[in-house]
């Protein structure tokens, strides 16, 4: 099973700042099957990024994903008030599908 | 617009079976190259993938839950279901159904989630 470790646990930033979230895999993630989700309290996760760097439908271009192999990054350039949430990475390069533990982006 | 909606018992006694159904609307469960998945999230914790089912009925379950999980699909009703047996308090969670795209390997549509509490 591929274990995904997200860092930091919490990121304290202000609106307008840049957020850089890390997701490290315990093994190579094949085909770059690495995705990112945003979750707000009481809501289901929202699809942000798939295959490492592709934005999902309707996602603003301030969200970008990068990386390969075992190291992946989600960058939010210019935080908006609605971006403060918990972010999860997820891999499906091999079964079972796994999620990271999440990074909370707070004001 | 695709929509998924979970339904089922919100309170289950220990050792009994948790049963949930996910109704899919806006598209046929048989269309496209998608799998239909269950994911859960204990209160205040992260996400755990339970497994998937295809419209053909083929399944894959997370090895950590495999011995207790069964999924089924009802194409006539455009829905799929989850049964989890021998539940304990550790199974208390919000249960989500979600569609996974084979192309992207990610979940593009999610249900709103159903809280299931295991308690006597």
Q: Give the pLDDT mean for B38-52.
A: 97
Q: Is B42 on the interface with A (CB under 8 A)?
A: no
The whole-number pLDDT of residue A74 equals 98
Q: Quick check: A107 pLDDT over 90?
A: no
pLDDT digits (tens, 9 = 90+) for A85-99: 999 999 999 999 999
Q: List the beta bridge partners of residue B56.
A: none
Rounded mean pLDDT of chain B? 96
Q: Quick check: A104 pLDDT over 90?
A: yes
State the Cα–Cα distance between residues B54 and B108, nearest whole angstrom.
16
pLDDT digits (tens, 9 = 90+) for B48-80: 999 999 999 999 999 999 999 999 999 999 999
The whole-number pLDDT of residue B55 equals 92
Q: Quick check: A30 pLDDT over 90?
A: no
Mutate to test the interface with B, among A39, A47, A91 (most CBs of B within 10 A): A47
CB B66: neighbour CB atoms within 10 A?
Answer: 14
State the Cα–Cα distance between residues B40 and B73, nearest whole angstrom.
19
CB A10: neighbour CB atoms within 10 A?
Answer: 11
Residue B100 with chain A: CB contacts under 8 Å: 92, 97
Residues of B (98-117) whose Cβ lies below 8 Å from A: 98, 100-101, 104-113
The whole-number pLDDT of residue B33 equals 87
Instruction: For A4, list phi and psi in degrees, rounded to 5.
Output: -105, 125
pLDDT digits (tens, 9 = 90+) for A74-88: 999 999 999 999 999
pLDDT digits (tens, 9 = 90+) for B4-31: 999 999 999 999 999 999 999 999 999 8
Residue B48 with chain A: CB contacts under 8 Å: 99
The whole-number pLDDT of residue B103 equals 86
């Amino acid at each position: 099973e591929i274990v995904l470790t997200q860092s930091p646990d919490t990121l304290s930033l202000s609106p307008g700042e840049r957020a850089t979230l890390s997701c490290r895999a315990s093994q190579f993630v094949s085909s770059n099957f690495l995705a990112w989700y945003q979750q707000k309290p009481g809501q289901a996760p929202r699809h942000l990024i798939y295959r490492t760097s592709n934005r999902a439908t309707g996602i603003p271009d301030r969200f970008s994903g990068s990386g390969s192999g075992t190291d992946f990054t989600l960058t939010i350039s210019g935080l908006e008030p609605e971006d403060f949430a918990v972010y999860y990475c997820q891999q499906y390069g091999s079964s079972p599908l796994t999620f990271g533990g999440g990074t909370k982006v707070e004001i | 617009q695709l929509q998924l909606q979970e339904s089922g018992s919100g309170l289950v006694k220990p050792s009994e079976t948790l049963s949930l159904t996910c109704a899919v609307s806006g598209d046929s469960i048989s269309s496209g190259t998608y799998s239909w998945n269950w994911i859960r999230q204990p209160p205040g914790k992260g996400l755990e993938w339970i497994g998937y089912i295809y419209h053909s009925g083929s399944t894959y379950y997370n090895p950590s839950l495999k011995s207790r999980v069964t999924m089924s699909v009802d194409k006539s009703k455009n829905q799929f279901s989850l049964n989890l047996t021998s539940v304990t308090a550790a199974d208390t969670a919000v249960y989500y159904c979600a569609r996974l795209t084979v192309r992207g390997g990610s979940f593009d549509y999610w249900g709103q989630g159903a809280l299931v509490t295991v308690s006597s």
